[in-house]
């Protein structure tokens, strides 16, 4: 079957595409670099022609609150409209665990708005909520650094490898629509401060990690379980230690 991946040239999109092609599916990677712009609609009707499934793993180029809301609302409305016209039978969207709990975050609010548009639409759908990726833990530490020290709360975080996210999204694309949500997470939950402390140590990064319950998450205050999946989430196999070891081997 034909699967169109919105954001198909990105970190997750490329891996989802590779997995689906291995399964014998016809995959089209839709992104501005391939001539498909979901904000303007350029190339979108042509890309969706004959598609049975649309997978949306796109992301906003800006995380500023108004810009990210504009991106997800505009893009999602256009994708849903054109997918309906093209006779698409299943929309799969990648979202984030905690979108309904971090209302102070402009990014999480925008993802929640995207989810609502998909739920309110007429197309069968599956929304896959994932926890933070192993690949972006360094960015969390960088964003939390003040005067050379990393300020992090002890709230829980359960990171997942991008390859495991891609595997889950690919499975969803070839399964029947859930017309609802599913959550995926890494195999282990950590206090965020302990996780970043261990990560920086293993990387040889000398920054001190300070436990700071008011530090929040990219500016949004956290409760203990704000970023943790609920009961019944699919737990991925790749541990942080295994992921770090694989990265070290690849860099050697």
- Domain boundaries, position 200: 2-247
> Does 252 reside within a domain?
no
133-142 pLDDT, tens digit each: 999 999 999 9
Look at residue 248 in the predicted model and tell me its pLDDT: 82
Strands 90-96 and 53-56: parallel
250, 199 in Cβ contact below 8 A? no
> Does 218 reside within a domain?
yes
The secondary structure of residue 153, as a DSSP letter, is -
Continuous H helices in 126-191: 137-143, 162-174
95-108 pLDDT, tens digit each: 999 999 998 999 99
> Does 182 reside within a domain?
yes
Confidence of residue 214 (pLDDT cuts 50, 70, 90): very high
> Does 46 reside within a domain?
yes
Look at residue 250 in the predicted model and tell me its pLDDT: 84
Strand ranges (E), the chain = 2-6, 26-30, 53-56, 90-96, 125-130, 145-146, 149-152, 156-157, 180-185, 190-191, 208-211, 234-235
The domain spanning residue 72 has which CATH number?
Answer: 3.40.50.720
| pLDDT reading at 251 higher than 90 | no
Look at residue 196 in the predicted model and tell me its pLDDT: 97
Cα separation, 7 vs 95, whole angstroms: 13
Confidence of residue 165 (pLDDT cuts 50, 70, 90): very high
Cα separation, 139 vs 141, whole angstroms: 5
Compute and round to an integer the Cα radius of gyration of the chain. Answer: 18
- What is the pLDDT averaged over residues 169-189? 98
| pLDDT reading at 247 higher than 90 | no
Look at residue 79 in the predicted model and tell me its pLDDT: 98
- What is the pLDDT averaged over residues 1-21? 98
> Does 13 reside within a domain?
yes
Query: How far does Cα 152 stand from its chain's mean position?
Result: 22
68-125 pLDDT, tens digit each: 999 999 999 999 999 999 999 999 999 999 999 998 999 999 999 999 999 999 999 9
159, 212 in Cβ contact below 8 A? no
Number of domains present in the structure of the chain: 1
């Amino acid at each position: 079957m034909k699967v169109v991946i919105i954001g198909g040239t990105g970190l997750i999109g490329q891996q989802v595409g590779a997995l689906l092609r291995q399964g014998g599916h016809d995959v089209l990677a839709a992104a501005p670099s391939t001539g498909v712009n979901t904000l303007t609609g350029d190339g979108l009707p042509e890309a969706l022609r004959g598609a049975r499934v649309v997978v949306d793993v796109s992301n906003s180029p800006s995380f500023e609150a108004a810009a990210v809301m504009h991106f997800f609302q505009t893009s999602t409305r256009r994708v849903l409209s054109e997918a309906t016209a093209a006779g698409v039978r299943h929309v799969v969207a990648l979202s984030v665990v905690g979108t309904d709990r971090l209302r102070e975050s402009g990014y999480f609010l925008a993802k929640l708005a995207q989810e609502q548009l998909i739920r309110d639409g007429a197309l069968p759908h599956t929304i896959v909520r994932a926890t933070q990726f192993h690949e972006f833990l360094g960015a969390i530490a960088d964003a939390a650094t003040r005067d050379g020290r990393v300020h992090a709360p002890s709230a829980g975080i359960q990171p997942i490898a991008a390859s495991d996210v891609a595997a889950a999204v690919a499975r969803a694309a070839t399964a029947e629509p859930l017309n609802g949500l599913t959550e995926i997470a890494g195999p282990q939950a950590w206090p965020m401060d302990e996780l970043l402390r261990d990560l920086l140590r293993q990387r040889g990064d000398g920054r001190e990690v300070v436990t700071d319950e008011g530090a929040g998450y990219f500016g949004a205050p956290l409760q203990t379980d704000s970023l943790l999946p609920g009961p019944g989430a699919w737990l991925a196999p790749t541990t942080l230690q295994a992921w770090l070891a694989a990265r070290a081997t690849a860099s050697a």
